[in-house]
Chains A and B, each alone.
Chain A
Amino acid sequence: MSVLEVKDLKKSFGKTDVLKGVSFNLEKGEVLSIIGSSGSGKTTILRCINQLETPDSGFISVGGEVFFDGNLEKENTKERRRKQLLVGLVFQDFHLFPQYNVLKNVTLAAELLAKERADYKQNKKAIHDEIIEKAKAILGKVGLSEKLTNYPCELSGGQKQRVSIARALMLEPEVLFFDEPTSALDPELTGEILKVIKSLAEENMTMVIVTHEMSFAKAVSSKVIFMDNGVIEEEGTPEEVFDNPKSQRTKEFISKFSD
């Protein structure tokens, strides 16, 4: 069964139809890149799956759990939160918590979740230590072992984005989503982020990446979707989409970006 299923997803804001029926599946360990011009609805797809927007209609499931099936009946918040942990989202402009240092940014959510565990009272210390160790390991993996006690305002854009990736990884999502993770960065800093994402791909992390980095998308993904004006204009393997695009619009878009 696919770890992520999206069927006929529709979403409009007021009179603008932003998603006009988007469907795709993703298997465990796959990496999907979503490309397309600005305003084509890429962010809206990620926001719908991550429960930041309520779709108008369609179907979404992650890890076999139904996130949305057109039934607008209000789900209780507990269910919603449980499902929320199956997905992780890395924002374009980080949204780190400025008042906490790097380590606390990564541990905060895990610490709050741990408080709800039945054995929290007895094992407080052990649970806390475990969380800290795990966070340190993840921060080490993204190359930030030296920055544990720094505050976000003391970091470069690339470092901030790596903290925000670590923060999402900490909760071990089934699928990790990236919304243009390098778009807010100076060009010379994009490399360090792409390297981190590549290493995650090598560990078979299931990921959906919205990006304008075409050669990166081609190298890292198993599947590519080209969004145009609220619909999937073309999809396939990187070779199919980048090297032999069928649609004229895809051709135009790709030629604009490859230089």
Chain B
Amino acid sequence: MDQALLTEVFTRLADGFVTTLEIFALTLLIALPLGLIMSFGSMSKFLPLKYAVRFLVWVVRGSPLMIQLILVFYGPGLLGQWALDLVANGNTNAVIIWLSNIGVMERFVAVIIAFSVNYACYFSEIYRGGIESIPKGQYEAGQVLGMTKTQVFFKVVLMQVVKRIIPPMSNEIITLVKDTSLARVIAVYELIWAGETFIKLKGIIWPLIATAIFYLAFSGLLTFVFGKIEKKLDYYKT
């Protein structure tokens, strides 16, 4: 095999690999806390908030991530263009003028927004399930012992929630590894695209196989790490 090709394959795969990792890490960084905030919203006693969050979760979970990516990427730009046309025709409405300044979305930013919101919705349901599964007696025991609501949440409830949500969370996070490849629908050059390039360009398939091995290794590593965490939390039963 010639050296030049090998170098090219590895540079391209490395590019895609970095993008894939960035999407994965940034999505988790945003979606993990955002999901927690959303889960509080979906359990709120303030009904408009509760139903707004649950509606958003229903829409996001009920429609393909691919569509969400396309909408987040093209939507703002098209809206800006529409407003710009109106302004050109003499519309002086302040909102329309403001909207007309919206330019085309940065591709990578669109990917991160779409992924973060999508995964935050899934995570929020997992958090909610975990929090709601903690018996009322745990809260009452804490209250009777003079703890504040915050203390009860962080010192009594949270660890039990973490234990319960580790298995479903690890499933979602492993799915995220594979979902990152969807970024290509709005032309973000991720790993699979990088691999596929060589089929089209050079008629060789092994770079694509190499990407598959990367995904396997990555999800294998995550399975291992989550298994360890689960084991670590196995010292008690609820």
Interface of A with B (CB < 8 Å)? 50-52, 77, 81, 84-85, 87-89, 91, 93, 95-99, 108-109, 112-113, 151-153, 167-168, 171
Contacts and interface: CB of A to CB of B under 8 A. Distances in A.
Nearest to B163: A99
A50 B146 CA distance: 11
B236 A152 contact: yes
B140 interface: yes
Interface string B131-158: 0000101101111111110010001100
B37 to A, nearest CB: 23
Contacts of B147: 109, 112
Given A91-B137, A93-B137, A98 B237 contact: yes
Contact of A51 (B143, B148, B160, B235): B143
Interface of B: 135, 137-138, 140-148, 151, 155-156, 159-160, 163, 235-238
Nearest to B151: A112
A29 to B, nearest CB: 22
15 contacts: A52-B144, A81-B146, A84-B144, A85-B146, A95-B135, A95-B137, A95-B140, A97-B141, A98-B237, A108-B145, A109-B142, A109-B147, A151-B236, A153-B238, A171-B145
A81 B144 contact: no
Contacts of A97: 138, 141, 156
Given A52-B143, A151-B235, A153-B237, A95 B138 contact: yes
B160 A98 contact: yes
Contacts of A95: 135, 137-138, 140-141
Contact of B145 (A51, A52, A77, A109): A109
- Nearest 8 interchain pairs by C-beta: A109-B145, A95-B141, A95-B137, A153-B237, A151-B236, A99-B159, A98-B238, A89-B144
A84 B146 contact: yes
B125 to A, nearest CB: 23
A196 B143 CA distance: 24
A91 B138 CA distance: 11
Contacts of A98: 160, 236-238
A28 to B, nearest CB: 21
B145 A167 contact: yes
A168 B142 CA distance: 11
B3 to A, nearest CB: 57
B190 to A, nearest CB: 39
